[in-house]
């Protein structure tokens, strides 16, 4: 007697009831699967992206916002800080290394980050093609940016102001792709990296473009009329002035273009004689003593703000922990309801099948085989629910990652299976066994004589 085949026939005899119980259980297990995957991958990803960064320094504001915008690039920057103060901080005896960054622009939603080559060394990234930037407006693309945008070496594009799609374009000067990074599975994959000078010059062009006059004033028109009356007397002088003006414009254009071909800073801060700003600094401590002294010194004695990635992310996980517990509670409620539904379905079907069970006993089935038959039905239901729940969980995470290509969820690996998911299957099978216990015992006690006599 094939008990597996027989139990499956009984389950498929009532497809609506069976399908509803499986789906209800699957939804609860899917929530647990998603929480397991997100919790595991988020913690690893957060730790990986913040590796080597002891402190982040930026403008006053929310410390958590400073960390999210500067390390994980998922929030708005808190503002800019004067570069002379940043340089002064980098010379402190407590600081081993600082990596300046200039933020505030994007390309199709991917952040354009102005920095130096130390940022590449921090994340130990390699190149799949091309090289690092050496002149202003040369950029290196993260692997995800290159894949999604379709840009390749030698292509040009226009950046946009702000950190989201839909802002106005900086169309005075295009960026040129000189390198594409290898996939690393970290924050660098979704960034467009360039020099700090590129970000400065981009906004210089915007400001100079806004200051250009658009029309002649009435005073200019009067002057032209007056000059026209004395044209014959001053024609030679006007020609000389015109030539001098043309020469000045040519010299200005030459100086203006020359800075676009000047080598950029590959380490440290760019050299400049102007009052410039940067957005943030990534700091590495020289000694453990710096972890105690440096943040307090910056927050109390300067106009800047210091925030620790490890501390702020611990706070964030504590805040998210409440929501995770609520979702876990909801999942367990769904699983409990599903277990109750399986119990009711098996118990009700048992009442209708007592004669069939008696016939099975009459043709040679033992009490123990009837017991196993009912247990198999409950275990089969919960096993199907577990498989469907795990697949639904991974599928939902896949959709979530696809819908957030520029966010931190873009790096989630939806189809990575954890060993902890085996416990989901074990938990589901336990629910099946418990839900089947009473109906199985009732089947075990089935009396052949009573049931056949009643029929």
- What pLDDT is attached to residue 211? 47
Which helix (DSSP H) or strand (DSSP E) does residue 66 occupy?
helix 63-67
User: For the segment 241-254, what is each residue's pLDDT rounded down to a tens digit?
Assistant: 544 444 444 444 44
User: For the segment 268-296, what is each residue's pLDDT rounded down to a tens digit?
Assistant: 999 888 889 999 999 999 999 999 999 99
User: For the segment 326-338, what is each residue's pLDDT rounded down to a tens digit?
Assistant: 888 888 888 888 8
Dihedral of the CA atoms 175, 180, 181, 185 (nearest 10)?
90
The chain-wide mean pLDDT, for the chain, equals 81
- What pLDDT is attached to residue 247? 47
Per-residue pLDDT for 170 more than 80? no
DSSP state of 79: -
- What pLDDT is attached to residue 347? 80
Q: What is the mean pLDDT of residues 142-170?
A: 84
> Concatenated DSSP letters for 195-231?
EHHHHHHHHHHHHHHHHS--S--HHHHHHHHHHHHTH
DSSP state of 319: H
Are the C-beta atoms of residues 94 and 294 closer than 8 Å to each other? Answer: yes
- What pLDDT is attached to residue 226? 42
| Cβ neighbours of 412 (radius 10 Å) | 19
Dihedral of the CA atoms 36, 39, 41, 44 (nearest 10)?
-140
- What pLDDT is attached to residue 220? 44
DSSP state of 416: P
DSSP state of 187: G
Name residue 115's beta-bridge partners. Answer: 195
- What pLDDT is attached to residue 404? 72
> Concatenated DSSP letters for 91-144?
TSTTEEEEEEEEEEEEETTEEEEEE-THHHHHTT--EEEE----STTEEEE-HH
User: For the segment 51-62, what is each residue's pLDDT rounded down to a tens digit?
Assistant: 999 999 999 999
User: For the segment 106-152, what is each residue's pLDDT rounded down to a tens digit?
Assistant: 998 899 999 999 999 999 999 999 999 999 999 999 999 999 899 99
Task: Report the C-alpha gap between 137 and 221 in whole angstroms.
Answer: 40
- What pLDDT is attached to residue 338? 83
- What pLDDT is attached to residue 213? 42
Which helix (DSSP H) or strand (DSSP E) does residue 6 occupy?
helix 3-13
The token pair at 224 is 């032209």
Q: What is the mean pLDDT of residues 233-242?
A: 44
User: For the segment 193-231, what is each residue's pLDDT rounded down to a tens digit?
Assistant: 999 999 998 877 655 554 444 444 344 444 434 444 444
Closest of 89, 231, 78, 98 to residue 163, by C-alpha: 78
Closest of 183, 174, 180 to residue 260, by C-alpha: 174
- What pLDDT is attached to residue 1? 56
Per-residue pLDDT for 299 more than 90? yes
More confident residue, 388 or 171: 388
Taking each helix axis from N to C terminus, what angle separates 309-352 and 367-403, rounded to the nearest 10 degrees? 140
- What pLDDT is attached to residue 114? 95
Dihedral of the CA atoms 400, 406, 407, 410 (nearest 10)?
50
- What pLDDT is attached to residue 450? 64
- What pLDDT is attached to residue 188? 93
- What pLDDT is attached to residue 183? 92
pLDDT band at 408 (very low <50, low <70, confident <90, very high): low
- What pLDDT is attached to residue 214? 42
How many percent of the chain have pLDDT more than 90?
37
Task: Measure the N-to-C terminal CA separation of the chain; round to a whole number of Å.
Answer: 24
For the entire predicted model, the pTM comes to 0.73
Q: What is the mean pLDDT of residues 406-413?
A: 66
User: For the segment 438-454, what is each residue's pLDDT rounded down to a tens digit?
Assistant: 888 887 777 665 656 66
Q: What is the mean pLDDT of residues 388-403?
A: 88
- What pLDDT is attached to residue 405? 65
pLDDT band at 165 (very low <50, low <70, confident <90, very high): low
The token pair at 151 is 């840009």
């Amino acid at each position: 007697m094939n008990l597996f085949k027989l139990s499956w026939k009984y389950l498929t005899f009532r497809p609506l009831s069976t399908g509803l119980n499986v789906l209800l259980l699957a939804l609860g297990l899917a929530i647990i699967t998603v929480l397991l995957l997100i919790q595991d991958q988020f913690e690893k990803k957060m730790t990986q992206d913040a590796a080597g960064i002891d402190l982040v320094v930026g403008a006053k504001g929310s410390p958590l916002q400073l960390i999210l915008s500067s390390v994980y690039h998922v929030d708005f920057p808190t503002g800019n800080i004067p570069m002379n103060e940043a340089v002064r901080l980098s010379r402190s005896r407590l600081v081993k290394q600082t990596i300046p960054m200039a933020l505030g622009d994007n390309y199709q939603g991917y952040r354009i980050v102005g920095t130096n080559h130390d940022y590449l060394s921090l994340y130990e990234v390699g190149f799949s093609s091309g090289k690092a930037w050496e002149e202003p407006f040369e950029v290196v693309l993260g692997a995800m940016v290159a894949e999604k945008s379709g840009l390749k070496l030698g292509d040009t594009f226009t950046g946009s102001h702000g950190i989201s799609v839909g802002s106005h374009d900086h169309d005075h000067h295009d960026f040129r792709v000189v390198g594409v990074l290898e996939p690393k599975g970290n924050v660098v994959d979704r960034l467009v990296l360039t020099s700090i000078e590129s970000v400065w010059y981009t906004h210089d062009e915007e400001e100079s473009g806004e200051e250009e006059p658009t029309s002649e004033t009435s005073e200019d028109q009067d002057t032209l009329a007056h000059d026209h009356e004395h044209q014959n007397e001053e024609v030679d002088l006007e020609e000389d002035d015109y030539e001098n003006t043309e020469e000045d414009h040519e010299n200005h254009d030459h100086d203006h273009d020359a800075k676009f071909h000047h080598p950029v800073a590959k380490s440290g801060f760019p050299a400049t004689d102007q009052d410039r700003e940067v957005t943030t600094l990534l700091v590495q401590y020289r000694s453990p003593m710096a972890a105690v002294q440096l943040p307090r010194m910056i927050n109390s004695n300067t106009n800047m703000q210091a925030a620790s990635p490890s501390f702020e992310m611990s706070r964030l996980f504590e805040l998210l922990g409440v929501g995770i517990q609520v979702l876990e509670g909801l999942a367990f409620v769904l699983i409990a309801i599903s277990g109750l539904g399986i119990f009711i379905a098996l118990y009700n079907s048992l009442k209708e099948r007592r004669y069939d069970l008696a016939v099975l006993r009459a043709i040679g089935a033992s009490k123990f085989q009837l017991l196993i038959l009912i247990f198999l039905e409950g275990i089969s239901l919960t096993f199907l629910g577990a498989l469907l729940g795990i697949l639904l969980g991974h599928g939902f995470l896949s959709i979530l990652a696809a819908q957030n290509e520029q966010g931190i969820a873009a790096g989630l690996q939806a189809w990575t299976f954890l060993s902890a998911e085996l416990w989901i299957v074990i938990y589901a099978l336990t629910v099946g066994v418990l839900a089947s216990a009473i109906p199985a015992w009732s089947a075990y006690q089935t009396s052949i004589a009573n049931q056949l006599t009643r029929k």
